[in-house]
Amino acid sequence: MEVDEFQQQIELLTGSSIKGFRDVDKALLCEVLKDDSARLDCSQFNELLLVVNKDRVYAPFFDHFFGKSCTIRTLPLGIEKFRKTAMRCYGNFVFAYRTLSRLGTVAELASELGDVGRDQAELLADFKGRSAPLLRIDKIARDDTYLLGYLSAKTIAVDVERYAALIREIRDDWHDWPDVTVPSKVIDAYKAASPAATLDEFRKFLKESEPEILKLDQRIDKVRDRAKRNQDVYLTWDHMDVYFATSMRKSWEYEELYDYIAELLRSWSVKRSQYPLFRPDSEFRK
């Protein structure tokens, strides 16, 4: 390994640049790093860290991330493992290095890392051994998902308000409408679409629109009641491994997310999971 590469790797490990690195230090490192197959233990690694003016690490840290068979060549693998852990646990490399490298016992390190630090085989065994939840969610149809959003369903609420205002303020003459209380945009849009229409025809249009508008309003209430129940069910479950953080405002955004999750549940890797929560429902099986 070249000295420049080692310097870069140590900066990735510690999350900060190396300062005060002298030519004499580089010469020392050059001699040590020329043999990529050379084994390193914690004590030897600390020697290299001190050469580049970085704090030493304790044995539990070194053994967990670099392993007993660490060599000069495999240092980047250990550093990559550390950085993944750092982001999962803290989202900060500097804090992670300062915290984890100073833990003096294996038990302390294991406690700090929690499940992130557990052996993969052990985690997989636990994952497959989970029991099915007693309470199940009531799946909401793709076309109804947008009704759950504050902004995405707002247009329906606005339509209901406009309809109520129009019915309340109906007049006998096109020009005899209060400017403030009546949503004039609806009237203007109707007259633009049907310029020859009479006021009676407009009244008829409103009456014919009433069932559909009220149906949509009731549909929102029903879907949101189901969603609230689903939320209560989710909160009873012991395990929730995946959370989709989204910012959706349009109906198509809800539909795209629905399609993405459906495709994810169809995937071979998820289908073969032994965890019941991720077993695809019948509508996703193909």
C-alpha 150/C-alpha 155 separation (Å) is: 10
What is the per-residue pLDDT across 215-234, written as a single tens digit (0 to 9) for each?
877 888 899 999 999 999 98
What is the per-residue pLDDT across 253-265, written as a single tens digit (0 to 9) for each?
889 989 988 888 7
Determine contact, residues 41/70, Cβ cutoff 8 Å. yes
What are φ and ψ of residue 68, in 5° steps? Answer: -70, -25
- What is the pLDDT, as a whole number, of residue 84? 94
Contacts of 58 (CB under 8 A, 6+ apart): 42, 101, 102, 103, 104
pTM of the model: 0.55
C-alpha 35/C-alpha 72 separation (Å) is: 7
User: Domain locations in the chain?
Assistant: 3-118, 142-284
Mean pLDDT over residues 171-194, rounded?
64
What pLDDT band is residue 281 in, cutting at 50, 70 and 90? Answer: very low
